[in-house]
């Protein structure tokens, strides 16, 4: 960890980020537009480089609305074969760099039948169906407790800020429960039926490990999903990654304006 921090701090002297953002599939453009300094994951000791199409793989530092922000343009996923510890390592790094508020974003399938592709959803809570947990293993007491509380991972006050910002921008916004599966398969119709019965509104393959670790480390978390598709349904419609990227591409304008507005109001 020390070599990672030393390396990054050496690259961005005197830049202490207070806000972190992890940009999901097709949502990375924010980091192209606001980029004072970028460091590729391949250069950073301890980081793994992103292999998924639509994910760039760099840490981007920028001052946005007077706030110091670090963005992860692309994330690593459990389904790529990395361990839970590997995919959540950057979250611990962001904490050590000084990040207090972490905004997690993703593309997700709609489980709630009233949601439409390109809707934005504030994550109210999550359900971890990944079959494992990033905190398994010896506990680092300097970061957090052995048995961390998860009663309000996605902070209510941050969700209220996000809702108010959406309203100011005249954006329709949902608020719902995100269920994470390991992937890489999309779900079967029966799995979506189960997710719905569990109380989920959206389904995806990321975010939950990062949210668990961030909350454990004492960071304030906000989560925003871009609904990219109707999750697999009984009507036999098939789903592809291209469709996911295509829809997030259509929603990225409003997604970006919402994130910028939220940063302004944090
Ligand atoms: N399921 C799981 N992950 C996803 C989906 C989906 O339908 N859409 C985008 N990520």
Q: What is the DSSP letter of 54?
A: T
- What pLDDT is stored for residue 54 in this prediction? 52
- What pLDDT is stored for residue 55 in this prediction? 58
Write out the catalytic residue numbers: 25, 55, 77, 79-80, 107, 205-206, 229, 241
Q: How far is the CA of 93 from the centre of ligand 1 (A)?
A: 27
The pLDDT of residue 48 is above 90: no
The pLDDT of residue 38 is above 80: yes
d(CA 118, CA 201): 14
Give the confidence band of 125 by pLDDT, cuts at 50, 70, 90.
very high
Please state the atom number of ligand 1 nearest to the C-alpha of residue 230. 7
- What pLDDT is stored for residue 218 in this prediction? 98
- What pLDDT is stored for residue 77 in this prediction? 94
pTM across the whole model: 0.95
- What pLDDT is stored for residue 235 in this prediction? 64
- What pLDDT is stored for residue 93 in this prediction? 97
Q: What is the DSSP letter of 146?
A: S
Average pLDDT, the chain: 93
Taking residue 104's Cβ as centre, other Cβ atoms within 10 Å add up to 28
Give mean pLDDT, residues 128-154. Answer: 97
pLDDT digits (tens, 9 = 90+) for 176-202: 999 999 999 999 999 999 999 999 999
Select from 81, 110, 89 the least CA-distant residue to 47.
Answer: 89
Query: What are the pocket residues of ligand 1 if the criterion is a CB atom closer than 6 Å to any ligand atom?
Result: 107-109, 186-187, 203-205, 228-229, 231, 239, 244
Residue minimizing CA distance to atom 7 of ligand 1? 109
Give mean pLDDT, residues 114-120. Answer: 94
Residue 145, classed as helix, strand or coil, is coil
Q: How far is the CA of 45 from the centre of ligand 1 (A)?
A: 30
Taking residue 172's Cβ as centre, other Cβ atoms within 10 Å add up to 10
d(CA 39, CA 22): 15
The pLDDT of residue 143 is above 90: yes
Helices marked H in 98-225 — which ranges?
Answer: 156-168, 189-198, 208-216
The pLDDT of residue 234 is above 60: no
């Amino acid at each position: 960890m020390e070599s990672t921090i030393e390396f990054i701090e050496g690259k961005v002297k005197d830049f202490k980020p207070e806000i972190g953002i992890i940009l999901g599939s097709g949502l990375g453009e924010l980091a192209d537009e606001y980029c004072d300094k970028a460091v590729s994951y391949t250069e950073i000791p301890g980081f793994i480089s992103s292999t998924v199409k639509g994910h760039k793989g760099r840490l981007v530092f920028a001052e946005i609305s007077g706030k110091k922000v670090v963005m992860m343009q692309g994330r690593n996923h459990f389904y790529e074969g990395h361990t839970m510890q590997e995919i959540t390592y950057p979250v611990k790094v962001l904490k050590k760099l000084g990040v207090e508020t972490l905004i997690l974003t993703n593309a997700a399938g709609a489980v709630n039948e009233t949601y439409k592709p390109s809707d934005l959803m504030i994550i109210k809570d999550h359900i971890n169906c990944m079959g494992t947990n990033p905190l398994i293993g010896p506990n680092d007491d300097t970061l957090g407790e052995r048995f961390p509380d998860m009663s309000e991972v996605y902070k209510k006050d941050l969700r209220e800020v996000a809702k108010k910002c959406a309203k100011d921008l005249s954006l329709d916004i949902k608020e719902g429960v995100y269920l994470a599966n390991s992937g890489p398969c999309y779900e079967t119709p029966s799995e979506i039926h189960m997710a719905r019965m569990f109380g989920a509104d959206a389904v995806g393959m990321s975010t939950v490990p990062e949210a668990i670790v961030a909350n454990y480390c004492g960071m304030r978390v906000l989560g925003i999903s871009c609904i990219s598709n109707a999750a697999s349904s009984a009507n036999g419609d098939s789903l592809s990654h291209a469709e996911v990227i295509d829809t997030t591409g259509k929603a990225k304008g409003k997604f970006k304006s919402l994130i910028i507005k939220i940063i302004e109001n944090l």
